[in-house]
Amino acid sequence: MSDLDEIAAIIGETRVLTGADAAPYATDWTGAYTGAPLAVLRPKDTAEVAAILKIANAAGTPVVPVSGHTGLTGATMGQDALMLSLDRLNTIYAIDPEARTARIGAGVILSSLHDAADAHDLIFPLTFGARGSAMIGGVLSTNAGGSNVLRYGNTRDLCLGLEVVMADGRIMNLMSALHKDNSGLNLRQLLIGAEGTLGIITAAVMKLKPKPRAYATAMVAVPALSDALGLLNTLQDATGGAVEAFEYMPRSYIDRHIALISGARPPFEDAYDVNILVEVGATAPRDATPGPDGQVPITAMLEDTLGAMMEEGRLLDAVIAQNDAQRAEMWARREAAGEILVQGGNFVNTDVAVPLDKVATFLTRVTPRLKAIDPDAHEVVVSHLGDGNIHHTTLLKRNDPDVMAALVEAVEDVVQELGGSFSAEHGVGLSKLDTMRRRKDPVALDTMRAIKTALDPKGILNPGKVIPD
């Protein structure tokens, strides 16, 4: 009996996809990475995942986990591998409103968890444009960030427990809901962000948060990007740290959004170079209950704060959303970033992080270096400005691998000069392996390799990703 026959006997023949049935899994969302998997496997539970890994480990067959397939770094490219889809592990086992936790399978779609938490007047605060397809397993495996990191943290800050199938098929139960646990090494944090190279995440315990009773959302224009951090600090002081999102969209991004997205409108009557989406969330009734005049206090607070800054000359313009439709339009502008940054032509896409006060410095330094390499290059940028994360895309007129590689290194140089990271929230996958080799501390790389060898001695788990040879 072949390995695939043995696996089919465990999970069912219809859950082993080959040929044309496997084709939808062969290409990632960006279209940049295409591989021919040996088969796509769709187990229904952790026991079946464990059985698959026992068979694959015995044979030394590579296994590539895949969730929503919305990554940007080629981490799910499965050439000559068994692709292990977790889409059927999509059960929300329990929502505990008192403890504010959710116990869920790795195949749960992010928006489904949002809906489940909302039914209990809670939120799972992690959110980004692909929330309707991204799954919790992939979110954990890449330590995804998104727009609310400023207030709630990255995925690893929202996870209490994990269930993980190791390379040899053993199941490691770390499904604790504890907020404190110093019983040895923190294996949960080791596995989050490992992109399936150390084990396959099959379930998790996630934190839930109080649902804001009201939001105050605005588009704000400031004279220069260097003025933005002062705006953020003023808003944090005024709201007691309730700023949830602080998103930067320069003029080039706004222009591209209008050109590419049907029905898109500019945020202001006049065009500005520095446009920022601000959102404040109020959980206390005193900040969310409308007064006698019908105005919501958190909205009034934002309006007063921005008005005072306008009088001081610190702002150029501000528009506050007056209803849900206007708020949705503001967010749609920002969440179209994936489509806007990579649509059409040749591009170099980077995802970097620098200290909060160095974002403007990064953009000032990087532009002339890119122009020196390719004078025709055109930059499009969007940033989670509140946490220093910059999504920087360079659009090119020609497909020249040498030029593209030089552009990437130019971005790396500036990031390194500023004490930043070349990977903020998208992971490493395949696309950043060369960067890892060039920029990551050599001792750190050796330590990663030692851990990988210890946990996956045959190297079957998502081989060739994250850790360069």
95-105 pLDDT, tens per residue? 999 999 999 99
Tell which CATH classification among 3.30.930.10, 3.40.50.300, 3.30.70.2190, 3.40.630.30 matches the domain 214-335.
Answer: 3.30.70.2190
Domain span(s) for CATH 3.30.43.10 in the chain = 3-85
d(Cα 385, Cα 276) in Å, to the nearest integer? Answer: 9
Which residues of the chain form CATH 3.30.465.10? 92-210
* Domain limits, CATH 3.30.70.2740, in the chain: 344-426
From the CB of residue 20, how many other CB atoms can be counted at a distance below 10 Å? 7
Q: CATH assignment of 3-85?
A: 3.30.43.10
pLDDT at 326 over 80: yes
pLDDT of residue 129: 85
pLDDT band at 344 (very low <50, low <70, confident <90, very high): low
User: Cα separation of 388 and 371, whole Å?
Assistant: 23
Mean pLDDT of the residues in the chain: 95
pLDDT tier, 20 (very low <50, low <70, confident <90, very high otherwise): very high
Looking at residue 1, its pLDDT comes to 59
What predicted TM-score, i.e. pTM, was given to this entire model?
0.94
Over residues 12-41, mean pLDDT? 90
CATH of domain 92-210: 3.30.465.10
Closest CA to 463 of 82, 92, 46: 82
Do 190 and 427 form a contact (C-beta atoms < 8 A)?
A: no
Angle at 252 between CA 397 and CA 417, to 5 degrees: 80
Where in the sequence of the chain do the CATH 3.30.70.2190 domains occur? 214-335
Tell me: pLDDT of 345 over 80.
Answer: no
Domain 344-426 has CATH 3.30.70.2740: yes
Quote the pLDDT of residue 47: 98
